[in-house]
A and B are shown apart, each in its own frame.
Chain A
Amino acid sequence: MPFEALVAGCLLYVALMFGVAFAADRAASRGRAGWLDHPAVYTLSLSVYCSAWTFYGAVGYASRSGLEFATIYLGPTVVFTGAWWGLRRLVRVARRHHVTSIADLISARYGKSNRLAAFVTLIAVIAATPYVALQLQSVSLSFEVFATDSLADIPMAGGGGTALWVAGGLALFTILFGTRNLAADERHHGVVTAIALEAIVKLLAFLALGVFVVWGLADGPADMLSRIEAAATGHGGWLLKPDRWTALLVVSGAAVIALPRMFQVLVVEAADEDRLAVAGWAFPAYLFAMSLFVLPIAVMGQQLLPPDANPDLYVLTLPAASGQNWLAFLVFLGGFSAATSMVVVCTIALATMISNHWLVPLWLMLRRKPQSGDPEDLRGFVLNARRLAIGAVMAVGWVYYQATGGTAALAAMGLVAFTGMAQVLPAMIGGLVWRGANRHGAFAGVGVGFALWLAMIFLPSVGIGAPPSVPSGVDPLALAIFLSLALNTLAFIGLSIFGMPDPVERLQGLSFVSAVDPIRHSRMARGADQAEPLLVMARRVWGAEDALRFFQSEAAFQGRSGYLPDLTPRFLTRLERRLAGSVGAATAHAMIDSVAGGAELTVSDLMQVADEAQRAKEETQRLETARAELARTARQLREANDKLTALSVQKDAFLGQISHELRTPMTSVRAFSEILRTPDLSDADRDRFAKIIYDEAGRLTRLLDDLLDLSVLESGQAQLSVTPANLHDLIERALSAASATRPERVFRVDREPLAEYVGVITDPDRLLQVLINVISNARKYCDAEPPVLSIRVRRSLRGGVQIDIVDNGSGIEAARQSLIFEKFARLNDPARAGGAGLGLAICREIMANLGGDITYLPGQGGAAFRIALPRRPPVPANAGLRRA
């Protein structure tokens, strides 16, 4: 097949993957993730386990060492037989703590230690980068085999050019779909769906080839078996070595959990642990199907192809030599899928670890107090850090591939990566089942294992130093694996027994081992006004909309209205874990401490927590919900009662305030009209006093108008004239009308004109009244220099429109936020000028009449109001009567 045709086919396939990923992301963002969450998609995504190393390498492995290749798939099968109580538990605990990677899991378990996470990340990076290089090599090799033209003649493909193109394309894909958003849970629907599709291609290609080999080239299964027997007897390398067999089983079983890419798809991308009930048998079945034809293909390759043919490429050369070009192309796509899906997921996992455990902590350390000037700073930084890390991993992989130049050294990298990540496993499993495991033990175990792995496996594999000499009859790899894992476990257990964990760690240990919710301790005052700095912080990580939604739902759970929940332990715990889902446990913990004030956890707190946990465990689910329900109702009742009491006080106060507001202008009018009667006034004085009378009479009229307006609105008798209107025009008119307020202040108005061209069906005059009022208020009170007013229009979920009007002044203090919509709220306000303080009360009533509402948004870096309009105003109950 000519090189151009091959490239064209590849590009078509890649375009399909981009399309699928894009469609899945779109569906998920619109809340239609139903089929994306199907266990089948999850199971197929697990197949990133079968990278190009297994797709091409398994046949090569089998032709050299016979059945030994099967250990790589049997290990995971044994692990998955324990899916019900083992993996489900792991996924449940990890989801509960919003774990983002295996490094994050270890760090969260051992007292949210970022140093431990950074160390695990280091191992992952060292182990996985050569593995990425191996994938690039396999793609490039398969191109070389398959293209009938010599690659050296093609300027863009020769000398590693293919690998460069592939690496660049994969980096683009990963950055596009892997770093779209910094969600509160690290799931990538687009990537996972594309990978599930690639898994199908992979499997179909391999099965098709297998069927062709067994029934096309050989004479069916019986003939195949006798050919295997014949091939094996002549081949000494096929005799299984028990020690090696066992060691490889252990290591591949470990790898299916601990490899960064496997942890990503198995744990991080799992919506819940129930899908393991299906994946528990379906994933081993996938592995079974992938391995079934490996031995036949290896045997037929040996028999039919020239002896110098590379066994690692039998899967391609065998159909090509038999003239099956389409089958060969399908196999080529399968191998391409295997390599690309592995690289994409591996890079996402590594990039998450690098950004969360290396770059973000470094950044937070370098600039202790991030300025609130740019509200999106942290979110932007984390996303850019990930993009940078993706690029870097890919680049290092490519450089590594170029440097080692397609030697056999790379082929060994699969097992090297497996054994490296296996060193993390004792600390991980120990942390899940043993409350006594602690940070010192974890550091020691992982450290010892890492050092032995480096010396005995990794460095020899890249040609530095020699593998240790071993007694004859013992396999060196098996010895290295057993030795490193045994000493690792020993160090882990030893230091855990003698070390003393700190209280945070003991709390996390309890939560991981007993699967109970941890409780965060805070010594902060528990008032709602304390929640605002936390909201500001969450907004920096998630963006305004997500942060507000989370805070609102938490407040609603507590039975509160608005956006600021009480700082209960439950709320703080949930907030920290959601943040951990974005930036990792250690950083989330440090961030909340920095805002909420570090809560020194003591051992007595711990005892209390343990008691509480014990009691909570004994209580049934029903009682808990009932109690929560009761507490919520009680709270609502209390709020209602407070409101009623406040209302009757308010009524008296309201009458007094009306009296005050009416009498004040009347006093001036009466006094000056009497003064005007004195005969010897100068003309200038007379004029001035007449003007004062005129002004004060105007003020009286305005006040009466406002009061009348308010009472009409409050009784719901307001006549609305509902027509379609363009929001852009309304905002334009409001801005020009409001510019009469304090005209000497020049505001920069930050708008998004495109988003504003939205048709609304409402009473435009009333809406205009609200807009003018809010903008005038901003002009009146915004004390920033230079003042900036930003207006954002957004479609809300149910077809309505939200208008956010935010200034950059000092905002409204939390204690007053709930008062500003009350009548005469500004009564004791020194800055009150002109009006009596009915403006926002009228706005609230207008919005209620229009079927929407107006709320104050805390934590937006200034005074911020959200005006929410429904798709259309409600029809009043007596509309028909009035028309009649």
Chain B
Amino acid sequence: MPDRPLFLERASFRRRRLGDAARVLPVLAAALIVIPVWWVPEQASFAGGAVWLFGIWAALIAAIGVLHRALRRADAATLRASRDIAGDDDHAL
């Protein structure tokens, strides 16, 4: 019995941290796209800038994909865990 609540805490803890990451990601993305143009407009404007921009872009897409997968799994795990807990309550009754 004692490992079940522990599992729930782990799952919900992980779920929360992933949620934080999902909140930070847009800010990070905006910063990566905007700052170079303010900072070094000359370098950001031409071929080097294009490589940088499309590189960031591809990385962002990959990051969103990985994050969303993890979030869906974590959500499913949290749901399962809370169902298990609920199931135990039923037995106790």
A-side interface residues toward B, CB under 8 Å? 66-67, 70, 74, 77-86, 225-226, 228-229, 232-233, 238-242, 245-246, 249, 277-278, 280-281, 284-285, 288, 292, 295, 620, 622
Q: A67-B44, A82-B23 are in contact. List 16 more A-B contacts (CB 8 A).
A: A67-B45, A77-B61, A78-B30, A81-B25, A232-B47, A239-B41, A239-B42, A240-B45, A242-B38, A245-B37, A246-B37, A249-B33, A280-B68, A281-B65, A284-B61, A292-B54
Please state if B29 and A81 are interface contacts (CB–CB under 8 Å). Answer: yes
Please state if B60 and A229 are interface contacts (CB–CB under 8 Å). Answer: no
Measured between alpha carbons, how far is A285 from B25 in the docked complex, in Å? 16
Please state if B71 and A74 are interface contacts (CB–CB under 8 Å). Answer: no
Are A228 and B22 CB-contacts (below 8 A) given A78-B29, A84-B67, A239-B42?
no
Q: Which residues of B sit under 8 angstroms from A280, Cβ to Cβ?
A: 64-65, 68
CB-CB nearest in chain B for A229: B47
CB-CB nearest in chain B for A70: B53
Q: Which residues of A sit under 8 angstroms from B47, Cβ to Cβ?
A: 225-226, 228-229, 232
- Tell me whether B51 is interfacial, beta carbon within 8 Å: yes
Please state if A240 and B68 are interface contacts (CB–CB under 8 Å). Answer: no
Please state if A85 and B41 are interface contacts (CB–CB under 8 Å). Answer: no
Are A281 and B46 CB-contacts (below 8 A) given A78-B30, A85-B19?
no
Please state if B68 and A84 are interface contacts (CB–CB under 8 Å). Answer: yes
Q: Mark B58-74, 1 if CB is under 8 A from A, else 0.
A: 10111111011001100
Please state if A245 and B34 are interface contacts (CB–CB under 8 Å). Answer: yes
Are A67 and B64 CB-contacts (below 8 A) given A78-B29, A228-B46, A239-B42?
no
CB-CB nearest in chain A for B18: A84
Measured between alpha carbons, how far is A815 from B57 in the docked complex, in Å? 67
B-side interface residues toward A, CB under 8 Å? 19, 22-23, 25-26, 29-30, 33-34, 37-38, 41-42, 44-47, 49-51, 53-54, 57-58, 60-65, 67-68, 71-72, 86
Q: Which residues of B sit under 8 angstroms from A66, Cβ to Cβ?
A: 45-46
Question: B61, B68, B86: which contacts A277 (Cβ < 8 A)?
Answer: B68
What would 18 A/B residue contacts be, using CB atoms closer than 8 Å?
A67-B46, A77-B57, A77-B60, A81-B25, A83-B68, A85-B19, A225-B51, A228-B47, A232-B46, A240-B41, A242-B34, A242-B37, A249-B33, A280-B65, A281-B62, A284-B60, A288-B57, A288-B58
Please state if B46 and A229 are interface contacts (CB–CB under 8 Å). Answer: yes
Q: Which residues of B sit under 8 angstroms from A277, Cβ to Cβ?
A: 68, 71-72
Please state if A246 and B34 are interface contacts (CB–CB under 8 Å). Answer: yes
Question: A78, A226, A238: which contacts B26 (Cβ < 8 A)?
Answer: A78
Measured between alpha carbons, how far is A267 from B41 in the docked complex, in Å? 37
Measured between alpha carbons, how far is A277 from B68 in the docked complex, in Å? 6
Q: Which residues of A sit under 8 angstroms from B45, Cβ to Cβ?
A: 66-67, 232, 238-240
Are A249 and B61 CB-contacts (below 8 A) given A82-B25, A228-B47?
no
Measured between alpha carbons, how far is A246 from B37 in the docked complex, in Å? 9
Measured between alpha carbons, how far is A483 from B34 in the docked complex, in Å? 19
Please state if A285 and B61 are interface contacts (CB–CB under 8 Å). Answer: yes
Are A240 and B44 CB-contacts (below 8 A) given A84-B67, A249-B34?
yes
Measured between alpha carbons, how far is A280 from B63 in the docked complex, in Å? 10
CB-CB nearest in chain B for A620: B86
Are A81 and B64 CB-contacts (below 8 A) given A67-B50, A225-B51?
yes
CB-CB nearest in chain B for A84: B22
Q: Which residues of A sit under 8 angstroms from B60, Cβ to Cβ?
A: 77, 81, 284
Measured between alpha carbons, how far is A239 from B40 in the docked complex, in Å? 11
A244: min CB distance to chain B, Å: 9
Measured between alpha carbons, how far is A288 from B54 in the docked complex, in Å? 8
A520: min CB distance to chain B, Å: 30
Q: Which residues of A sit under 8 angstroms from B51, Cβ to Cβ?
A: 225
Question: A229, A241, A288: which contacts B61 (Cβ < 8 A)?
Answer: A288
Measured between alpha carbons, how far is A288 from B57 in the docked complex, in Å? 7
Interface centre among B46, B49, B86 (most CB of A within 10 A): B46
Q: Which residues of B sit under 8 angstroms from A285, Cβ to Cβ?
A: 61
Q: Which residues of A sit under 8 angstroms from B58, Cβ to Cβ?
A: 288
Interface centre among A79, A82, A295 (most CB of B within 10 A): A82
CB-CB nearest in chain B for A292: B54
Q: Which residues of B sit under 8 angstroms from A81, Cβ to Cβ?
A: 25-26, 29, 60, 63-64
Question: A77, A82, A229, A620: which contacts B22 (Cβ < 8 A)?
Answer: A82
Measured between alpha carbons, how far is A226 from B48 in the docked complex, in Å? 10
Q: Which residues of A sit under 8 angstroms from B65, Cβ to Cβ?
A: 280-281
Measured between alpha carbons, how far is A295 from B86 in the docked complex, in Å? 57
Please state if A83 and B37 are interface contacts (CB–CB under 8 Å). Answer: no
CB-CB nearest in chain B for A623: B86
Are A67 and B49 CB-contacts (below 8 A) given A249-B34, A281-B64?
yes
B83: min CB distance to chain A, Å: 9
CB-CB nearest in chain A for B86: A622
Question: A78, A226, A232, A284: which contacts B33 (Cβ < 8 A)?
Answer: A78
Please state if B46 and A82 are interface contacts (CB–CB under 8 Å). Answer: no
Q: Which residues of B sit under 8 angstroms from A233, Cβ to Cβ?
A: 46
CB-CB nearest in chain A for B72: A277
Question: A77, A85, A238, A284: which contacts B46 (Cβ < 8 A)?
Answer: A238
Measured between alpha carbons, how far is A242 from B35 in the docked complex, in Å? 9
A232: min CB distance to chain B, Å: 4
Interface centre among A86, A238, A280 (most CB of B within 10 A): A280
Measured between alpha carbons, how far is A713 from B64 in the docked complex, in Å? 67
Question: B30, B53, B86: which contacts A67 (Cβ < 8 A)?
Answer: B53
Measured between alpha carbons, how far is A292 from B33 in the docked complex, in Å? 16
Q: Which residues of A sit under 8 angstroms from B19, Cβ to Cβ?
A: 84-85
Q: Which residues of A sit under 8 angstroms from B63, Cβ to Cβ?
A: 81
Measured between alpha carbons, how far is A82 from B68 in the docked complex, in Å? 10
Measured between alpha carbons, how far is A74 from B47 in the docked complex, in Å? 17
Please state if B50 and A84 are interface contacts (CB–CB under 8 Å). Answer: no
Measured between alpha carbons, how far is A229 from B49 in the docked complex, in Å? 10
CB-CB nearest in chain B for A246: B34
Measured between alpha carbons, how far is A74 from B36 in the docked complex, in Å? 14
A369: min CB distance to chain B, Å: 50
Measured between alpha carbons, how far is A242 from B38 in the docked complex, in Å? 5
Which 8 residue pairs spanning A and B have beta carbons closest together?
A281-B65, A232-B46, A82-B26, A281-B64, A229-B47, A242-B38, A84-B22, A228-B47
Q: Which residues of A sit under 8 angstroms from B64, Cβ to Cβ?
A: 80-81, 83, 280-281, 284
Interface centre among B60, B61, B86 (most CB of A within 10 A): B61
Q: Which residues of B sit under 8 angstroms from A239, Cβ to Cβ?
A: 41-42, 45
Please state if B50 and A295 are interface contacts (CB–CB under 8 Å). Answer: yes
Q: Which residues of B sit under 8 angstroms from A232, Cβ to Cβ?
A: 45-47
Q: Which residues of A sit under 8 angstroms from B72, Cβ to Cβ?
A: 277
Measured between alpha carbons, how far is A78 from B60 in the docked complex, in Å? 9
Measured between alpha carbons, how far is A82 from B49 in the docked complex, in Å? 24
Q: Which residues of B sit under 8 angstroms from A240, Cβ to Cβ?
A: 37, 41, 44-45, 49
B25: min CB distance to chain A, Å: 5
A255: min CB distance to chain B, Å: 16
A662: min CB distance to chain B, Å: 58
Interface centre among B22, B29, B47, B72 (most CB of A within 10 A): B47
B33: min CB distance to chain A, Å: 6
B9: min CB distance to chain A, Å: 17
Measured between alpha carbons, how far is A233 from B50 in the docked complex, in Å? 14
Are A241 and B41 CB-contacts (below 8 A) given A77-B60, A81-B60, A277-B72?
yes
Q: Which residues of A sit under 8 angstroms from B29, Cβ to Cβ?
A: 77-78, 81
Please state if A84 and B71 are interface contacts (CB–CB under 8 Å). Answer: yes
Interface centre among B26, B42, B44 (most CB of A within 10 A): B26
Q: Which residues of A sit under 8 angstroms from B50, Cβ to Cβ?
A: 67, 225, 228, 295
Q: Which residues of B sit under 8 angstroms from A238, Cβ to Cβ?
A: 45-46
Please state if B57 and A74 are interface contacts (CB–CB under 8 Å). Answer: yes
Please state if B49 and A85 are interface contacts (CB–CB under 8 Å). Answer: no
Question: B22, B54, B57: which contacts A85 (Cβ < 8 A)?
Answer: B22
CB-CB nearest in chain B for A286: B61
A169: min CB distance to chain B, Å: 36
A50: min CB distance to chain B, Å: 15
CB-CB nearest in chain A for B44: A240
A233: min CB distance to chain B, Å: 7
Measured between alpha carbons, how far is A601 from B34 in the docked complex, in Å? 48
Please state if A281 and B37 are interface contacts (CB–CB under 8 Å). Answer: no
